[in-house]
């Protein structure tokens, strides 16, 4: 998985059948590459996921301090050793109302890619605003790297929604600290909090609407934190810093409220695959 192909700068990828084609594959010939960036996804919806029977899931707790435990879930393909690893940060909904579907997805990712997936959980807003979730994820990764008994080979980092935001922030800091993440795997990541606050209101209520995302930003950020700060919005990081990121795999639904901001972020990267899923929302 982590032996990335050479990726032409600014390639926009549409996948006809992501799973059947080899979801997040190493061989770009197995997917259709489009350089026109026409914004039109050609992917079918991902199939309904169920946990894969050939993947084990187990809980892990590591003592961060005498009074604090960090919680993880580990997904491991059965009868496999010498595994590469993805540190995966579930989004806010993925840790709460959507935990079971996300567990199924992580199980399938583990099976399809033949990797170990370690889900990193953190305390949530509004009781725990930025930078608490970010600091907890950094602490969790330090524990996994230095205090766990897990043998780690190549390591990627990823996440979905707000978890994708945290994964990006950690990966950007890792450039400074020379932590060798091999890839970044992002599902519908929040990348620009300022653009999110500027979304035009549309009819509708509930999950994934402009109102929903604006409430998330206002809940997540302290009142003194600017939403266009690079500390919280990867889109606003310096281009030369984003160019140093390892290859990024972006997955976004073309009907997602924040899809255009994800596309705009991808245009600032040097190495990436973009999988656009037709008829898919956040």
pLDDT score recorded for residue 205: 59
The whole-angstrom separation of Cα 161 and Cα 92 is: 8
Cis-peptide, bond into residue 131, ω within 30° of zero: yes
Phi then psi for 86, rounded to 5 degrees?
Answer: -115, 120
Residues 26 and 1: beta-carbon distance below 8 Å = yes
Mind listing the pLDDT tens digit for each residue in 144-198? 988 777 878 789 999 999 999 999 999 999 987 777 799 999 999 999 999 999 9
Mind listing the pLDDT tens digit for each residue in 131-143? 999 999 999 999 9
pLDDT score recorded for residue 203: 64
Residues 55 and 76: beta-carbon distance below 8 Å = yes
In sequence order, the β-bridge partners of residue 186 are 159, 250
CB atoms within 10 A of CB 105: 22
Tokens of 132: 């608490």
Mind listing the pLDDT tens digit for each residue in 110-122? 988 889 999 999 8
The whole-angstrom separation of Cα 225 and Cα 201 is: 23
Q: In the predicted model, what is the mean pLDDT of the chain?
A: 79
pLDDT score recorded for residue 185: 94
Q: What is the mean pLDDT of each run of 10 residues along the chain (282 residues)?
A: 33 32 32 30 43 88 82 90 90 82 88 92 88 93 84 89 96 84 94 94 72 91 95 95 92 92 94 85 86
């Amino acid at each position: 998985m982590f032996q990335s192909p050479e990726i032409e700068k600014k390639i926009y990828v549409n996948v006809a059948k992501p799973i059947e084609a080899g979801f997040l594959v190493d061989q770009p010939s197995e997917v259709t590459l489009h350089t026109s960036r026409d914004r039109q996804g050609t992917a079918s919806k991902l199939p309904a996921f169920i946990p894969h029977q050939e993947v084990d899931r187990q809980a892990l707790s590591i003592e961060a301090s005498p009074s604090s435990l960090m919680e993880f879930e580990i997904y491991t393909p059965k009868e496999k050793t010498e595994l590469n690893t993805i540190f995966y940060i579930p989004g806010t909904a993925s840790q709460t109302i959507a935990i079971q579907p996300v567990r199924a997805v992580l199980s399938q990712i583990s099976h399809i890619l033949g990797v170990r997936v370690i889900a990193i959980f953190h305390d949530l807003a509004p009781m725990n605003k930025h930078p608490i979730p970010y600091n907890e994820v950094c602490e969790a990764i330090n524990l996994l790297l230095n205090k766990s008994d897990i043998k780690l080979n190549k390591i990627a980092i990823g996440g979905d929604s707000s978890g994708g935001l945290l994964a990006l922030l950690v990966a950007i800091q890792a450039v400074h600290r020379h932590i060798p993440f091999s890839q970044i795997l992002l599902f519908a990541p929040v990348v620009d909090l300022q653009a999110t606050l500027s979304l035009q209101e549309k009819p509708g209520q509930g999950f994934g609407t402009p109102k929903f995302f604006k409430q998330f930003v206002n809940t997540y950020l302290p009142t003194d934190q600017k939403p266009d700060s690079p500390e919280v919005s990867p889109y606003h990081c310096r281009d030369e810093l984003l160019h140093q990121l390892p290859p990024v795999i972006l997955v976004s639904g073309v009907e997602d409220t924040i899809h255009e901001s994800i596309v705009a972020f991808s245009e600032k990267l040097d190495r990436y695959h973009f999988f656009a899923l037709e008829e898919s929302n956040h």
